[in-house]
Amino acid sequence: MLVWAVKKKYSIFTLLKNAFSNNENWQKMWKSPEPKKSYDVIVVGGGGHGLGTAYYLAKEHGIKNIAVIEKGWIGSGNTGRNTTIIRSNYLWNESAFLYDHSVKLWENLSQELNYNMMFSQRGVMNLAHNEHDIKEMKRRISANRLNGLDTQWLETKDIKRLVPIMNTDNLRYPVLGAAFQRRGGVARHDAVAWGFAMRADEMGVDIIQNCEVHSIKTKNGKVEGVKTSKGFISAKKVAVVASGHTSVLAKTAGVRLPLQSRPLQALVSEPIKPVINTVVMSNAVHAYVSQSDKGELVIGAGTDGYNSFTQRGGYDVIEETVRAIVELYPIFGKMKMLRQWGGIVDICPDASPIISKCEVKGLYFNCGWGTGGFKATPGSANVFAHTVANDEPHKINAAFNLERFSDGRLIDEHGAAAVAH
């Protein structure tokens, strides 16, 4: 075990050593075991949230007999498909505490996992294009500041100073100001999945890829395990973190979740020299852009207008987004786009997530992150692990329960989340 841990530690020495052997002898980052007959906890879904849940269950709650079951390869869902925007400037106290818990964990995650998350706090800007945007954003900034968050209002001249290439006045919706969070930014999406996977594996967690969970087996109101493409696996507890497919799995256990699954698309351009050193989002015209370390523009669109499970999305959505980008940044008019893709996001009616137990004993759900759960990865995993281990929510996720859809205590974050990430 110790040898395994030492081998997987990254340092200047391991880099040099492997450089001399043509990088052919790197230690495998995690094992690929066959599933055991039974586990204390089965986590369904090997995205960042699921792998992080397994990591915190093992590290903070001493539960080691855990399997993460993933139908494809880890990170192949929305974790590996998103535009990586990280921020915490949400309106309500409950959301601000949850998302900022996450930003604080991001700030130390590379050190904690000894794996470079490439977390770059280059700031996130939300543009205001009309009176309504200005009022909503200023209200949110006040709420954020009361919660100790670093959000500020920028006038158009401040925006121009930060992003000189932006066209602010000669367009359909002029840029009238922006909400700006300096601690926001971007990170490497795969890294969070791989980092959590490595460290969870070291602590004895089984990461089982290419194994689809077909259904959740229950008896007398209690979970018994999962039926998978590799047979039945029993478990005392099952934690479902399957993003767009969560409602499908919940149904097999007789649980109805208030989720809609829709495609959300993104695209990247050919690489260019650095031109934009912050993240700029516009809800009104559905266009988000940041520049990756390789130089590609990373562009996010809105969701399709219908439910679907195809990881593709409609062409009209991309067309609208590109049109808005070119209007805001005429300099990008002649650029070529390299790749486009979609992911299936699970959207709650109040645009807030569900991190909750349910009426079936031993069954837990972490879902409903919609278009904006990447930023929450470590925080969500951390409080979900607490919920699963103690059969009680952490105080940070107590309000994100399933009961809110029957008792009416919704956490309406449409202003902060909307189609934005």
Ligand X SMILES: Cc1cc2nc3c(=O)[nH]c(=O)nc-3n(C[C@H](O)[C@H](O)[C@H](O)COP(=O)(O)OP(=O)(O)OC[C@H]3O[C@@H](n4cnc5c(N)ncnc54)[C@H](O)[C@@H]3O)c2cc1C
Q: Which parts of this chain interact with ligand X (CB under 6 A)?
A: 44-50, 69-72, 76-79, 81-85, 212-213, 241-243, 245, 249, 264-266, 300, 343, 345, 369, 371-375, 421
297-303 vs 260-269, strand pairing mode: antiparallel
**Nearest-angstrom CA–CA distance, 127 and 154:** 9
Nearer CB in complex with ligand X: 216/399: 216
**CA dihedral sign, ordered 378, 383, 389, 391:** negative
Q: How many residues does the chain have?
A: 421
Give the C-alpha distances (Å, rounded to integers) separating 95 from 106, 183, 189, 365, 410: 16, 16, 22, 18, 11
Provide the minimum distance between the beta carbon of 52 and ligand X in the complex, in angstroms, as a whole number: 8
Instruction: Note the maximum CA span of the chain.
Output: 64
Provide the minimum distance between the beta carbon of 1 and ligand X in the complex, in angstroms, as a whole number: 27
Provide the minimum distance between the beta carbon of 376 and ligand X in the complex, in angstroms, as a whole number: 6
Provide the minimum distance between the beta carbon of 279 and ligand X in the complex, in angstroms, as a whole number: 8
Secondary structure tally for the chain: helices H, strands E: 11, 18
CB-based burial, 138-162: b 16+ in 10 Å, e otherwise? eebbebbeebebbbbebebeebbeb
Residue 285: name the closest of 234, 319, 308, 239 by CA: 319
Nearer CB in complex with ligand X: 377/401: 377
Nearer CB in complex with ligand X: 247/401: 247
Q: Which helix (H) or strand (E) holds 266?
A: strand 260-269
Nearer CB in complex with ligand X: 76/387: 76
Nearer CB in complex with ligand X: 371/401: 371
Instruction: Give me the helices (H) in 313-374, please.
Output: 315-328
Q: Quote the tokens at residue 63.
A: 């539960």
Nearer CB in complex with ligand X: 52/176: 52
Q: Strands, DSSP E only, in 188-230?
A: 206-208, 213-219, 222-228
Residue 221: name the closest of 121, 360, 21, 101 by CA: 360
Torsions phi, psi of 403, nearest 5? -60, -25
Nearer CB in complex with ligand X: 177/368: 368
Provide the minimum distance between the beta carbon of 9 and ligand X in the complex, in angstroms, as a whole number: 25
CA atoms within 13 A on the CB side of 402: 17
Provide the minimum distance between the beta carbon of 331 and ligand X in the complex, in angstroms, as a whole number: 22
**Nearest-angstrom CA–CA distance, 43 and 49:** 10
Provide the minimum distance between the beta carbon of 223 and ligand X in the complex, in angstroms, as a whole number: 15
Nearer CB in complex with ligand X: 141/249: 249
Nearer CB in complex with ligand X: 76/278: 76
Provide the minimum distance between the beta carbon of 249 and ligand X in the complex, in angstroms, as a whole number: 6
Provide the minimum distance between the beta carbon of 94 and ligand X in the complex, in angstroms, as a whole number: 17
Residue given tokens 């002649």 in the structure block = 334
**Nearest-angstrom CA–CA distance, 301 and 418:** 12
Nearer CB in complex with ligand X: 78/176: 78
**Nearest-angstrom CA–CA distance, 203 and 53:** 13
Provide the minimum distance between the beta carbon of 166 and ligand X in the complex, in angstroms, as a whole number: 19
